[in-house]
Amino acid sequence: MSSATIKIFLPHGDPKRLRTAELSNWTGKAVAGPRSEFENVLGREESTSSGVYFLTGTEPDSGKPSVYIGEAECIKDRVKSHLEKDFWNQIVFFISKDENLTKAHIRYLEGQLIELAKKAGRAVVKNGQGSGARLPESDREDMEVFLGKMQQLLPALGVEVLVPATPKNEKDQPRELLTCEIKGLKAMGYLTPNGIVVLKESQAVLGERDSAHKYPWVISLRERLKEEGTLKEKGNFLEFTKDSEFPSPSTAATVIHGGTANGLTVWKTKSGKSLKDLEAV
């Protein structure tokens, strides 16, 4: 991904309220805000343009991050129809400042965005199937560039639903692999800007330790990973069925150990240095 300069404008001076975002040398523009600012967000002139939008929030039943991705020839009119959905608390929409996004363009973007969100696996995608659209080769290339710029801006606006656990441009770069061991079981992982990724086929203890019952979130997290199929029983231990990202080394270590654990001391390099030792250098 190429370097970029991001310009974020805060109309009210509050980074949690309405904001707009642009990238240097790009015709696109993003408008974002909380649901509590709904009228202000849709009061923007940009909301009458065609574009794509993200409604993000949390599933009421499961507590999982969720997203709905849509397209509209008039953002303002379409988004109003989603007010009956109770899961979302943030909206971000993208338009083109030169107003050159056609219906086919935004349908193409919607289809691609839905697929990217599903592959990233960071949130429950509330859409069924994206409409998608076939475009001439030149238009498709233009939209892929537009898509790439959106992917750069979204995390800066607090939306990471498209961010893969292993970014494409990092797959072939050497990483310091870390190990977390307990009772003859071994998990492997590496640090990321968001926390730590535990690699597929890593092992975790089958049952929870007594300490886990003092902190209900430990059991809840492990149960959720089992329900999702991320952790599956294999003989006398649990195994990760896919690469899985956690917000901190300690959260990952807690899942692996079946109870609270200090990730800074239990995750170690090949030479035996702990993360705590590495940070002390």
Percent of the chain with pLDDT strictly greater than 90: 74
Cα angle 81, 85, 86 (rounded to 5 degrees) comes to 145
pTM for the whole structure: 0.75
**Average pLDDT over all residues of the chain:** 90
Residue ranges of alpha helices (H) inside the chain are: 38-42, 75-80, 103-120, 137-156, 216-228, 249-257, 263-266, 275-280
Task: For the sheet with 6-9, list strands across it.
Answer: 6-9, 19-23, 28-34, 88-96, 51-58, 65-72, 124-125
For the segment 250-270, the average pLDDT, to the nearest whole number, is 94
For the segment 137-161, the average pLDDT, to the nearest whole number, is 94
Closest CA to 225 of 250, 210, 209, 246: 246
How many CB atoms sit inside 10 A of residue 70's CB?
23
Distance CA(41)–CA(211), nearest Å, equals: 46
Q: How many residues does the chain have?
A: 281
Residues 78-135: tens digit of each pLDDT: 999 999 888 999 999 999 999 889 999 999 999 999 999 998 888 899 987 666 778 9
Residues 209-234: tens digit of each pLDDT: 887 888 888 898 999 899 989 999 99
Closest CA to 267 of 175, 150, 189, 171: 189
